[in-house]
């Protein structure tokens, strides 16, 4: 996958509009990500459905972005940066399940509610 024009963690961290919070990734979500990342088509389908699930949870039309990757290197999947999302979830994978994280970036007025709704996010079945 080409990463030109895709969101990156450094872009989001440097963007003062966003506030971020980090938590451990839900084990069920982690298992789904690990299963999906083995095939580009499956990963794309999974990420698209995860974005829809986040929007449903938030009950809003806010633009939601997603990144999947490791701490070093480019994401293996990321939303296009031109979409300028208001909420971004970065699923940060580590070889050890316990060290895999969910980093949530939010730039909306109701940040506290968004962070609460997405803490250790578990997508709808």
pLDDT digits (tens, 9 = 90+) for 23-82: 999 999 999 999 999 999 999 999 999 999 999 999 877 899 999 999 888 899 998 887
In terms of Cα–Cα distance, which of 26, 19, 7 is closest to 102?
26
In terms of Cα–Cα distance, which of 9, 5, 3, 7 is closest to 102?
9
3-state secondary structure of 24: strand
Q: Sorting pLDDT into bands at 50, 70 and 90, what band is 2?
A: very low
For residues 18 and 106, the answer to whether their CB atoms sit within 8 Å is: yes
For the chain, the distance separating the N- and C-terminal CA atoms, rounded to the nearest angstrom, is: 27
For residues 91 and 67, the answer to whether their CB atoms sit within 8 Å is: yes
For residues 20-31, one letter each, b for 16 or more C-beta atoms within 10 angstroms of the residue's C-beta and e for the rest, the string is beeeebbeebbe
């Amino acid at each position: 996958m080409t990463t030109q024009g895709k969101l990156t963690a450094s872009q989001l961290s440097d963007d003062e509009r966003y506030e971020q919070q980090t938590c451990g990734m839900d084990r069920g979500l982690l298992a789904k990500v690990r299963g999906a990342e083995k095939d580009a088509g499956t990963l794309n389908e999974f990420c698209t459905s995860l974005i829809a699930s986040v929007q449903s949870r938030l009950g809003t039309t806010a633009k939601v972005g997603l990144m999947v990757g490791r701490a070093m290197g480019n994401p293996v999947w990321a939303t296009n940066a031109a979409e300028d999302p208001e909420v971004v979830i970065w699923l940060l994978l580590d070889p050890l399940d316990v060290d895999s994280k969910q980093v949530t970036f939010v730039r909306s007025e109701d940040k506290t509610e968004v962070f609460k709704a997405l803490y250790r996010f578990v997508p709808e079945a």
